[in-house]
A and B are shown apart, each in its own frame.
Chain A
Amino acid sequence: MNAAVAHAQPVILAGALGDAGSKLGQTLEALALFFGIALLVFFAAGRATGRLNRPLAIVVLLGPALVLLTVGLVVPAIRTIYLSLRSDDSSSFVGVANFKWAFTNGNLNQGVRQELFNTLLWIVIAPIVATVLGLLIAVLVDRMRHQAIYKSLIFMPVAISFVGASIIWKFVYDYRGPGLPQDGLLSQTVIALGWHNPPNWILSHPLNDFLLMVIMVWVQTGFAMVVLSAAIKAIPEDIIDAAKVDGARGWAMAFRITLPMIRNTLIVVLTTVMIITLKLFDIIRTMTGGNFGTDVLANDMYSQSFVEFNYGRGSALAVILFVGVLPLVAYNIHQLRRERETR
């Protein structure tokens, strides 16, 4: 390190810390302001008892949530549907032209139809693989000692952001030209197994679609495992005892008793991962930016709306996404409610 750099270091450090201080200061101010006002309102409104108590409580306690929901979700959602029927600069009504574009542009190798096809591949393959692997691990680990350690390690990716997960896997898939020492684990592994000229993984379509799905599976398997493991543990002991008396063992037990008993949970896990997959954005954004034939619906919705400023097309893609997610979420919420009621 030369003298100038050595001298510059403390200055940069002081600047960075000063910047951090002022940002966190703003945050604390905002928090103090928010909770200060809340306390004041509470104090003032709390004095009014008697007839005013109820209406005041309704307005003050429920009002902020209703305003935020209206401004932040209800009106924007309606406006997006409206924008999806207008041209890209929102100046004229174009009917269903944007939707027509979404379903007819390009083919399975390019354009929007490719991204719709990719999205379809994603929501079929990734959730099924993650759920089956999660179930397999949940069943197998249930028989082991120290199972908490294995479960923790497999569950850990759930806490990591998709951006973090993408960087982890981008490194695994890193590729260098033939002859150079490989630094990606995948290249090194296949070379060790005897495939001397591996491709540049992320650029190879359609292989890259599946390599990106691995990231989703890596993250969601832990989720599936934890939920399914809890469901397996919740099977009443009587039933297991009875099956045991009848001589059920190993796989017979798994297929005749365990699987039917956790069927509902299994479906909820599958649909939940499907919802997450349908809205997939972060992995594609970080790994390829939608290039090399890997684009999906949610990523292009972002690109159309916020990069290319095609508001009509972007909104149409958002509406398609909504229509796709709607039945899945509705089903999940329905299940969640039913479970609550029977408990």
Chain B
Amino acid sequence: MSTPAQVAAPSTVLRGPAATKAVRRSFSSPIASLLVVLLTLLWTVPTFGLLVTSLRPAGVVSTTGWWTVFVHPSFTFANYHEVLFSGAGLGVSDGLLPYFVNSLAITVPATLFPLAIASAAAYVLAWVKFKGSDALFFFIFALQVVPLQLALLPLLQLSSGGAHIGSVTIFPDLNLGNTYVPLWTAHTMFALPLAIFLLHNFIAQIPRDLIEAGLVDGASHFRVFRTIVLPLAAPALASYAIFQFLWVWNDLLVALTFAGGSGRAPITARLAQLTGSFGGRWQLLTAGAFIAIIVPMAVFFALQRYFVRGLLAGSVKG
């Protein structure tokens, strides 16, 4: 293989983007490119098959594979209409729309609550030092090693029956079974260690002069937090918000534990239940799955850069 870059390299040393480009060219080979194209196809085809199937009429789905659409195209939106509104084909009394709404109703507060609580805590830990504040920060940071499985059962017992020592009630049963409150609270609690850690790292890097100028002017910590810290921390808040939004939207474990088969379950929990009892109605299940993944996919394609940043920081969560 002889490319211009290779010939030129020993005599003239390229710098900057030119060098990068030259390296890239000297590397490139048709086999490598072909391999990448093949892998990309392999990675995309299953999702594509799902989308195609969700758009095919029931009669064809049960008799032919989705790849036959290239020869005999026939499409319909009837599956989406059926899974969203009637659900008759799924053998249940309601469609997926209520569960989609549940997902929204769970996810938005479960993103905003931890964001608010964690940013306030992060500000105090970074800028209002007190005796033991560093140790406290380290402790919260270390709580990340606790997998949520370790807290799940006692937390469920607490939310469904209160807490008692002997016959003394130390936490009452609040009868919140048919509300979103247990889900919001659980997601908020589980989000805090990571959220405080990430936001602390960002907020601690705000120039000291800015914070002190505010305090010297006689502003309270509340005012400094609201008018100086929050606006400056906006990029970190946005990255974390996107990560948490997707995490909650895609979650199954917390949803199954705290909402189970109730009318408050999000779409992930509902779909996970339907796959078992589903039989052969693939056109409906694929339509349902597509409805569930369209929101994170939209977030992903619209906000890819923030998404990557949030993901890199948050991938140890859980």
Give residues in A with beta carbon < 8 Å to B: 9, 12-13, 16, 19-20, 23-24, 26-27, 30-31, 34-35, 38, 42, 45-49, 53-54, 56-58, 60-62, 64-66, 68-69, 71-77, 79-81, 83, 133, 137, 140-144, 150, 152-154, 156-164, 166-172, 174, 181-185, 188, 218, 221-223, 226-227, 230, 237, 240-241, 244-245, 247, 249-250, 253, 272, 275-276, 279, 281-282, 285-287, 289, 298, 301-302, 305-306, 311, 314-315, 318-319, 321-322, 325-326, 329-330, 332-333, 340
Contact = CB atoms under 8 A, between A and B. Distances in A.
A333 B108 contact: no
A244 B123 contact: no
B189 A143 contact: no
A302 B257 CA distance: 8
Contacts of A253: 23, 27
A65 B147 contact: no
Nearest to A180: B63
A31 B108 CA distance: 9
Contacts, number: 367
B116 A38 contact: yes
Contacts of B39: 133, 137, 154
Contacts of B250: 160-164
Contact of A150 (B40, B190, B251): B40
Given A57-B220, A156-B300, A168 B50 contact: yes
A8 B61 CA distance: 27
Contact of A30 (B32, B123, B124, B180): B180
A314 to B, nearest CB: 6
B65 A188 contact: yes
Interface in B35-55: 35-37, 39-40, 43-47, 49-50, 53
A302 B101 contact: no
A98 to B, nearest CB: 13
B210 interface: no
B275 A57 contact: no
A29 to B, nearest CB: 10
A53 to B, nearest CB: 5
B233 interface: no
A159 B299 contact: yes
Interface string B96-119: 011001101100110011001110
Given A62-B125, A322-B147, 15 more contacts: A16-B94, A24-B105, A38-B116, A62-B124, A68-B117, A76-B152, A77-B150, A137-B39, A154-B39, A156-B44, A159-B297, A159-B299, A171-B285, A305-B152, A333-B141
A171 B218 contact: no
Given A167-B275, A171-B49, A160 B296 contact: yes
Given A162-B250, A237-B16, A318-B153, A48 B220 contact: yes
A311 B140 CA distance: 27
B307 interface: yes
A76 B151 contact: yes
A140 B32 contact: yes
